[in-house]
A and B are shown apart, each in its own frame.
Chain A
């Protein structure tokens, strides 16, 4: 009772905080971007029109509203460049997330089954790369993957290839970069669920006649699904919008949506189209998020 009274006021503030944050740093900027996406380019400052001038009076505002149109969205749907960019982004994200799950799951499982004292060490090892700037690590990969880079030297020394392999500016290089960068985001939520799971459940399955692979598929994996969901979302969503890794490591013949956005903004100076592309991206990403949330809700309902 007393603790509830002591914490009542701070708790109320803490409960409001996320909403304040959402409004200030998500909804307000989103409104700006939405407005720009409904505008047209103009050689002006800012480079679009109409501009809402609150001092110009009621009629001017009405005129500005009337000038808004969904032309940019029509363009996005009709122009192949954008459609391809979206499809490519989703394909890359899907492939990379699958790779991440296949690589991250065994690592997370191994970590969760280590003796307690070693788990902390493994955790540090997973997080340590973050101590170096992300950009520097990607440039390091350029070094490793280039024509006379470390990877080719090793492959040549082991006589696995007779000629240096072209890595840079290929999709392989991009996938290496993405998997490398996002692996901790896959491992950590998986590890958290797997470490929480009681090993005695696996023993029970084994005791009831399940060989090891069935123990995994019927008990371990289903129970780790919340971690799988979190890891997949944490990787999939940012990878769809990924800009730096494909820009530095992949070839320039097919662009992801992040790169297309960058082009529209900084090369073409077409803010309205770029804004429209950003909004469509957001909507596309909302779909898996909502699906995940519904899945979680259903799991919760089943649990009661």
Chain B
């Protein structure tokens, strides 16, 4: 198994190219179930990953994302279902028999080995010659910019350096698939942002397939080309970051990914491609009919805070009234200045509360709203997402 490692990056790319040309995904997860006692940690997950993808598994702790990743690495065997890598079912294969490598959450570097020996560990197991191992280690050290630290032990490195060693060690064998378990969780914010960019750059350059597990939605949105959101062992939605944010499939996802205003209501009227929905907290709202038409009944309307505009007075002109068809009168209740944006909490006259996020585009904002000020919060029908209640 281990000596089937592709010889060069180019070869990896070519192999991946063939796989996608045949229309087959690199990795196919089919109805995978894993139970611990009576707890169904992973409950029937099916998912295709294409070669060269940067895929993120996102979810709260305990949602089963780590268990799913561990099944891909081979540390757990699924109770049901298949895991196909290429056209081979690897569900029952042992970890050392898989052309998959993993970057562990706290890096799991071998404390008794130097940086060089940590990176060389997998290469020696693959039966590479001494010379080839040395060449590849040097290549990896350069790739993650660790030159000069080869002889250090892990406890002589900073957190960021350790993260790089872990990455180099996992990449050294040129796996067909790289798994990353919360790869940036142990880094501080600034370093995390830089490293996100580097990881993306690296993935593009090597043309490798990455699956990253994270509980940090911002991290998933930034890095991944596709995100799978998990909840209670199931995949709740698989979509691009943009679709996940702008077209969440459920109330739970809308709340889990980003900030959102939610209003519960009932359809009152259907007017062409628009729905008129009566809500308790925000009065009557006009929303665009979702792509898949919905019947009558109870719905939740989700509006992202940055889609909500604030204005001092209600529109006078006809055109203005049309744009501001959803206008809610209220009073500024709270102001939270965040630097780039300011979040206003508006207490509506109809009883509800709506949060609006406004970009601070001017340095000297003489027009800033103040607490207690009468205000109009408005948004267009297209800014609303209709979700099943």
Interface set of A (CB-CB < 8 Å, partner B): 198, 200-201, 203-211, 214, 218-219, 222-223, 302-304
CA distance A218 to B106 in the complex (A): 20
Contacts of A201 in B (CB 8 A): 108, 110-111
Check B142 for interface membership: any CB of A closer than 8 A: no
Q: Is the CB of A204 within 8 A of B110?
A: yes
Q: Is the CB of A203 within 8 A of B96?
A: no
Q: Is the CB of B173 within 8 A of A198?
A: no
CA distance A222 to B156 in the complex (A): 19
Q: Is the CB of B108 within 8 A of A204?
A: yes
Given contacts A206-B74, A303-B155, A304-B156, 16 further A-B contacts (CB under 8 A): A201-B108, A203-B73, A203-B95, A203-B104, A204-B108, A207-B75, A207-B96, A207-B100, A207-B102, A208-B173, A209-B2, A209-B96, A210-B121, A210-B125, A218-B121, A219-B110
Contacts of B95 in A (CB 8 A): 203, 206-207
Can you list 7 pairs linking A and B with CB atoms under 8 Å apart?
Answer: A201-B110, A203-B73, A203-B95, A206-B74, A206-B96, A207-B73, A218-B121
Kindly supply a per-residue 1/0 record for chain B positions 1-20, scoring 1 wherever the CB is within 8 Å of any chain A CB and 0 otherwise. Answer: 01000000000000000000
Known: A201-B108, A223-B112. A206 touches B94 (CB 8 A): yes
Contacts of A218 in B (CB 8 A): 121
Check B122 for interface membership: any CB of A closer than 8 A: yes
Q: Which residue of B lies closest to A210 (CB)?
A: B125
Known: A207-B73, A207-B96. A198 touches B108 (CB 8 A): yes
Q: Is the CB of A207 within 8 A of B101?
A: yes
Question: Distance in Å from the Cβ of A184 to the closest Cβ of chain B?
Answer: 27
CA distance A200 to B181 in the complex (A): 12
Question: Distance in Å from the Cβ of A131 to the closest Cβ of chain B?
Answer: 36
Q: Is the CB of A204 within 8 A of B96?
A: no
Kindly supply a per-residue 1/0 record for chain B positions 334-367, scoring 1 wherever the CB is within 8 Å of any chain A CB and 0 otherwise. Answer: 0000000000000000000000000000000000
Name which of A206, A208, A222 has the most chain B CB atoms within 10 A of its CB: A208
CA distance A211 to B1 in the complex (A): 12
Known: A203-B75, A203-B95, A303-B153. A208 touches B122 (CB 8 A): yes
Question: Distance in Å from the Cβ of B286 to the closest Cβ of chain A?
Answer: 54
Question: Distance in Å from the Cβ of B95 to the closest Cβ of chain A?
Answer: 4
Contacts of B112 in A (CB 8 A): 222-223
Check B169 for interface membership: any CB of A closer than 8 A: yes
Q: Is the CB of B153 within 8 A of A302?
A: yes
Q: Is the CB of A223 within 8 A of B101?
A: no
Name which of A205, A206, A207, A219 has the most chain B CB atoms within 10 A of its CB: A207
Question: Distance in Å from the Cβ of B136 to the closest Cβ of chain A?
Answer: 13
Question: Distance in Å from the Cβ of B173 to the closest Cβ of chain A?
Answer: 7
Kindly supply a per-residue 1/0 record for chain B positions 120-159, scoring 1 wherever the CB is within 8 Å of any chain A CB and 0 otherwise. Answer: 0110011000000000000000000000000001011000
Q: Which residue of A lies closest to B179 (CB)?
A: A207
Contacts of A206 in B (CB 8 A): 74-75, 94-96
Question: Distance in Å from the Cβ of B327 to the closest Cβ of chain A?
Answer: 56
CA distance A32 to B98 in the complex (A): 67
Q: When A and B form their complex, which 10 residue pairs have the shortest distance between CB atoms, in order from nearest?
A: A208-B122, A209-B125, A204-B108, A206-B95, A200-B108, A209-B2, A209-B96, A207-B95, A207-B102, A222-B112
CA distance A218 to B110 in the complex (A): 10
Q: Is the CB of B121 within 8 A of A205?
A: yes
Contacts of A207 in B (CB 8 A): 73-75, 95-96, 100-102
Q: Is the CB of A203 within 8 A of B125?
A: no
CA distance A204 to B112 in the complex (A): 14
Kindly supply a per-residue 1/0 record for chain B positions 63-85, scoring 1 wherever the CB is within 8 Å of any chain A CB and 0 otherwise. Answer: 00000000001110000000000
Name which of B2, B75, B94, B96 has the most chain A CB atoms within 10 A of its CB: B96
CA distance A265 to B112 in the complex (A): 49
Q: Which residue of A lies closest to B153 (CB)?
A: A303
Contacts of B169 in A (CB 8 A): 208
Contacts of A304 in B (CB 8 A): 156
Question: Distance in Å from the Cβ of B59 to the closest Cβ of chain A?
Answer: 21
CA distance A214 to B126 in the complex (A): 12
Question: Within B288-319, which residues are at the interface with A (CB < 8 Å)?
Answer: none
Known: A208-B101, A208-B169, A209-B96. A203 touches B122 (CB 8 A): no
